[in-house]
Amino acid sequence: MAKRGGFPGGMPGNMNNLMKQAQRMQRQMEEQQKVLEEKEYSAQTGGGAVSIKMNGKKEVMELTLNPEVVDPDDIEMLQDLIVAAVNQVIRQVEDEAAAAMGKMTGGFSF
């Protein structure tokens, strides 16, 4: 009668190695995530008229406006510059996180 379940032919040893590798990769990914979250990123738009600083958790830490860009008659331009700066710095955070995870997983995506 054939056995149900289990791993014939010595598979448990290979499964243990696989589990150890998965646990090691998970620890490395957690460590890398912590490093990325602690980093700071910055972006500027409008030739430095708007500057933004963000951490790896995508929390805005600082927003600086050049007084020359504050024109009450053209608030839309200021809004556009802020949106562009925020989007630019978010892309930096996401690109670096993706690159770091890609190195650890050998390009394997989940």
Phi/psi of residue 54, each to 5°? Answer: -140, 150
Interval 8-34: pLDDT, tens: 555 567 888 888 888 988 888 888 888
Confidence check: pLDDT of 105 > 90: no
- What pLDDT band is residue 4 in, cutting at 50, 70 and 90? low
Interval 32-88: pLDDT, tens: 888 888 899 999 999 999 999 999 999 999 999 999 989 999 999 999 999 999 999
pLDDT at 63: 95
pLDDT at 12: 67
Q: Which of 39, 32, 6 is nearest to 105 (CA)?
A: 32
